[in-house]
Copies of this chain bind each other. A is one copy, B any other.
Amino acid sequence: MPHKQPPGRPIPDIVVGRLPFYLRTLRSLAAEGLEITSSSELGDRLGLTSAQIRKDLSYFGEFGKQGLGYNISFLIVQLRRILKVDRIWEVVLVGAGDLGRAIANYHGFHDRGFEIRFVFDSDPAKVRQSLSQYTIQDIASLVEKVRAAKIRVAMLAVPAAAAQNVSDLLVEAGVQAILNYAPTSLVVPKGVYVQNIDPGAHMQRMTFYLEA
């Protein structure tokens, strides 16, 4: 029974983007004490069709049982493996402003596979101060420290005007994945992944649909 594995068909990026939501939903089903679910239950919770969920999962293997559905904890294990969060990624946070503080205090990332290792800022008044459990470090030492620690993932919470600059430092230090909170498009070399978070864009996307 030959089956397609990750290095088989290329996985559409849009499918990859939904997997974290499947995982999130499965964890909340598990937290409710359930052991088994179905593509239609998942679809209902997520506002997607059951067929889409089955097809998405089928890119990676056969995880369900006909007539029965999916074993929740088994599927969680599989999705964590697929998304490579069956481990903890050390993360560097740059920008110890209001948003940086919220991120540093937030404990929700650990469960998802991430742990902040360093916090950097350029403001001399902030450097050496503490933020949550961290000591804010001088941006000037970023490349050296991040490279030495082999950190590959970053969160960027600096003003838009500084973002490209900091991004360049991160790339120089070997970072390959950047979650960018600044409302600006970063230019990065191939092989570096950027995800942008722009709440203002989401807001404007909704007002489009509101009647004047």
Contacts and interface: CB of A to CB of B under 8 A. Distances in A.
A203 B84 contact: no
Interface stretch (A63-71, A94-102, A122-130, A139-147): A94-102
A23 interface: yes
B197 A206 contact: no
B17 A203 contact: no
A151 to B, nearest CB: 12
Contacts of A209: 16, 177, 193
A73 interface: no
Contacts of A30: none
A74 interface: no
A8 interface: no
A193 B208 CA distance: 10
A105 B114 contact: no
A203 B24 contact: no
A16 B208 contact: yes
Contact of A109 (B17, B85, B200, B210): B200
A20 interface: yes
Interface stretch (A33-41, A50-58, A179-187): A179-187
A45 B183 CA distance: 13
Given A83-B204, A84-B208, 20 more contacts: A16-B208, A20-B204, A21-B201, A23-B204, A84-B212, A85-B207, A108-B200, A112-B203, A113-B204, A114-B200, A153-B207, A155-B199, A177-B203, A179-B203, A179-B206, A193-B206, A193-B210, A195-B202, A195-B206, A197-B197
Interface of A: 16-17, 19-21, 23-25, 28, 45-47, 82-85, 89, 91, 97-99, 101-103, 105-106, 108-109, 112-114, 152-153, 155, 160, 176-177, 179, 183-185, 193, 195, 197-210, 212
8 contacts: A19-B204, A21-B198, A28-B184, A85-B204, A85-B207, A99-B106, A155-B199, A197-B197
